[in-house]
Amino acid sequence: MLNSYRFRRYKNKLFFALCLACVIIAIVPLVSILVETVVRGASQINLHFLTANVLQGGIGPSIQGTLIIIGLTSAIGIPIGIFSGIYLAEYGNNKYASNIRVINNVLTQVPSIIVGMTAFGIIILYVTRTYSPFAGAVALSFMLIPIVARTTEESLKLVPNSVREASLALGVHKWRTTLNVVLPASKSGLVTGTLLGVARIAGETAPLLFTILGSSFFFQGFNAPMDALPLRIFLNSRMNTAEEQAAAWGAALILILIVLALNIIVRVASRGRNFRWTING
Amino acid sequence: MDKNMKMQSINLNAWFGLKQALKDVNIAIKPNAVTAIIGPSGCGKSTFIRILNRMHELIPNAKLTGQVLLDGEDIYAKDVDPVMIRRRVGMVFQKPNPFPTMSIYDNVAAGLKLTGAKKGRNLDEIVKASLERATLWDEVKDDLKKPGTSISGGQQQRLCIARAIALQPEVILMDEPCSALDPIATAKIEQLVVELKQDYTVVIVTHNMQQASRVSDFTAFMYLGSLIEFGPTRDIFESPKNPLTEKYITGEFG
């Protein structure tokens, strides 16, 4: 009896040790990426580096481009994603919706390089006829929409039916019930999921290679190439001089900081806004 | 069809998918009276009450045949908008369900705001009058900005009643409104139900026979989807005609 008890305690510890070891294996590369980026990138960062154009040794155009592309992509992708999610959650009790749901899930997994090629084949060849920030935003929207749609659907489904019924029983139309009662009740989940989606596409490189190409200069209009941080990292890391390669590390650090900032906003936005669906007393 | 009746179901049958939930139910609901629907779980009483304001059809696969008249007009006629019926026939649910994102004030005002009925009317006055009517005003008048979910369960249920009253419906349906409440909160709601019949027609579903005998003027006993007996509450409880009703009333099953 005693032996078997000891053996079980031993197994217990072994299991814990195994989990701990795996966590360490998972964390080491993450930490090393962060440390390496900070160590190599921090020395690059100064006002000139952040504001000058690429030819002058700065990454100003890349930061500007990334902010523009995030803004444009959000403007296109978030509304379409949210309304798609509303359709799936509130009107999605049919065959079409379950097919759309499957397609949507596949879309969230599509390799980004294929998204880039598709945007090139559709938007650039037939619509803009040139490299364009608009085409880049459309490409990234292809990636953002399914993420936002799924997040929205999942958040809306967490709202109990009793809340919908309460509104409908007052003689409120379904669309107003959805917009004024259900959507606010799922706000924290919606904001969190959407911002995490934006953070995810902020670092995408392949779709931008095909659509905005990269540029040494600040924004030059919607019919011209533009720069972005992930592109700048990619392009500079393949250049010859040490200065140019060092600039890639600086750009990497700025990109990580932007993604980090989005994550912090998520934390703050979702704090304490989760409603409890229980009855008091 | 009886012109003196507020609502009337005629040969009402209802299904969920292939399962029949109501069988040929004929009930006439008198204005300014409380009609109670009693019966064991699964007898179709909730289904029946949800048919009265067209909430039944929100459930996937729900079907029905027959007629439901409101002031003599069929609420299931083709050109009738369910939304308009629900404005005339309000509902209070089993579990208190105030809007979680709204304050106490906004919960009461929600119906008026979201249906666009508030135009040219004093919202503050309506909110106060509705809360007074629901005997909740004195308890929450200093906390109108607090979330509707911050008050006790019994208060939440009276808030839901105030929310329904604010739209000035003609009929108020209550689907086991006290089943999630303690005895004191239940007593308050029961007292309120009796008061409400001055201005409204009330239909209340309950699994609590004592409650039905305390608050209602008429009682319908349902069993396995059929209406077994319907009449003045006193008759149903003191001299039931159907042996099944008597068995249920005396607690032999249920």
Residues 88-107 of B with CB under 8 A from A: 88, 90-91, 93, 95-101
Q: Do A181 and B86 touch (CB under 8 A)?
A: no
Say what the pLDDT of residue A280 is. 38
Q: Could you tell me if A96 and A189 are in contact, meaning their C-beta atoms sit under 8 angstroms apart?
A: no
In a domain, A26, yes or no: no
Q: Does residue A167 sit at the B interface (CB-CB below 8 Å)?
A: yes
Q: Do B149 and A280 touch (CB under 8 A)?
A: yes
Q: Does residue B22 sit at the A interface (CB-CB below 8 Å)?
A: no
Q: Which residues, in sequence order, are CB contacts of A79 under 8 Å at separation 6+? A: none
Tokens in use for B189?
């709601």
Question: Which residues in chain A are closer than 8 Å to B101, comparing Cβ atoms?
Answer: 181, 184-185, 187, 275
- Half-sphere exposure (CA, 13 Å, Cβ side) for B157? 26
Per-residue tens of pLDDT for chain B, all 254 residues: 567 899 999 999 999 999 999 999 999 999 999 999 999 998 999 999 999 999 999 998 999 999 999 999 999 999 999 999 999 999 999 999 999 999 999 999 999 999 988 777 889 999 999 999 999 999 999 999 999 999 999 999 999 999 999 999 999 999 999 998 999 999 999 999 999 999 999 999 998 899 999 999 999 999 999 999 999 999 999 999 999 999 999 888 76
Q: Does residue A181 sit at the B interface (CB-CB below 8 Å)?
A: yes
* Residues across chain A: 281
Gap from A157 CA to chain B (nearest CA, Å): 15
Question: Which residues in chain B are closer than 8 Å to A173, comparing Cβ atoms?
Answer: 83, 115
- To the question of pTM greater than 0.80 for the whole model, the response is yes
For the packed helices A229-237 and A242-270, what is the interaxial angle rounded to 10 degrees?
150
Q: Does residue A241 sit at the B interface (CB-CB below 8 Å)?
A: no
In a domain, A16, yes or no: no
B97-128: per-residue pLDDT in tens?
A: 999 999 999 999 999 999 988 777 889 999 99
Q: Does residue A275 sit at the B interface (CB-CB below 8 Å)?
A: yes
Q: Does residue A185 sit at the B interface (CB-CB below 8 Å)?
A: yes
Pick from A173, A276, A281: CB nearest B83: A173
Pick from B86, B96, B180: CB nearest A171: B86
**What average pLDDT does the segment A25-44 reach?**
95
Gap from B234 CA to chain A (nearest CA, Å): 31
Distance CA A256, CA A40 (A): 13
In a domain, A9, yes or no: no
Residue A216: which CATH number?
A: 1.10.3720.10
Q: Do A162 and B93 touch (CB under 8 A)?
A: yes
pLDDT category, A278, cuts 50, 70, 90?
Answer: very low
Q: Do B111 and A170 touch (CB under 8 A)?
A: yes
Q: Do B114 and A170 touch (CB under 8 A)?
A: yes
Domain boundaries, chain B: 7-99+171-249
Say what the pLDDT of residue A39 is. 95
pLDDT category, A4, cuts 50, 70, 90?
Answer: confident
Query: A44 vs A193, A235, A242, A258, CA distance in Å?
Result: 33, 17, 12, 17
Gap from B35 CA to chain A (nearest CA, Å): 20
Which residue's entry shows tokens 């890391």?
A237
Q: Does residue B59 sit at the A interface (CB-CB below 8 Å)?
A: no
Domain count, chain A: 1
Pick from A166, A180, A280: CB nearest B152: A280
DSSP chain A: -HHHHHHHHHHHHHHHHHHHHHHHHHHHHHHHHHHHHHHHHHTT-SHHHHHS-GGGT--HHHHHHHHHHHHHHHHHHHHHHHHHHHHHHHS--SHHHHHHHHHHHHHTTS-HHHHHHHHIIIIIIIIISS--HHHHHHHHHHHHHHHHHHHHHHHHHHS-HHHHHHHHTTT--HHHIIIIIIHHHTHHHHHHHHHHHHHHHHT--HHHHHHTB--SSS---TTS-B--HHHHHHHHHTSSSHHHHHHHHHHHHHHHHHHHHHHHHHHHHHTT-PPP-S---
Pick from A172, A187, A275: CB nearest B114: A172
In a domain, A224, yes or no: yes
Q: Which residues, in sequence order, are CB contacts of B151 under 8 Å at separation 6+? A: A280, B104, B139, B140, B143, B159
Q: Does residue A187 sit at the B interface (CB-CB below 8 Å)?
A: yes
A219-270: per-residue pLDDT in tens?
A: 999 999 999 999 999 999 999 999 999 999 999 999 999 999 999 988 887 7
Search chain B and give the residue with CA nearest A181. Answer: B99
In a mutagenesis test of the B interface, which of A155, A177, A181, A279 is the best target, namely the one with the most B β-carbons within 10 Å? Answer: A279
Q: Do A170 and B180 touch (CB under 8 A)?
A: no
Pick from B60, B97, B110: CB nearest A162: B97
pLDDT more than 90, % of chain A: 87
Q: Do B97 and A163 touch (CB under 8 A)?
A: yes
Secondary structure letter of residue B146 according to DSSP = S
**For domain B7-99+171-249, which architecture applies?**
3-Layer(aba) Sandwich (3.40)
A137: containing domain: 59-270
**C-alpha A79: how far from chain center:** 15
Pick from B100, B150, B154: CB nearest A163: B100
In a domain, A229, yes or no: yes
In a mutagenesis test of the B interface, which of A170, A176, A188 is the best target, namely the one with the most B β-carbons within 10 Å? Answer: A170
Mean pLDDT, rounded, of chain A: 92
Say what the pLDDT of residue A1 is. 56
Q: Does residue A272 sit at the B interface (CB-CB below 8 Å)?
A: no
Query: Residue B90's beta-bridge partner residues?
Result: B172
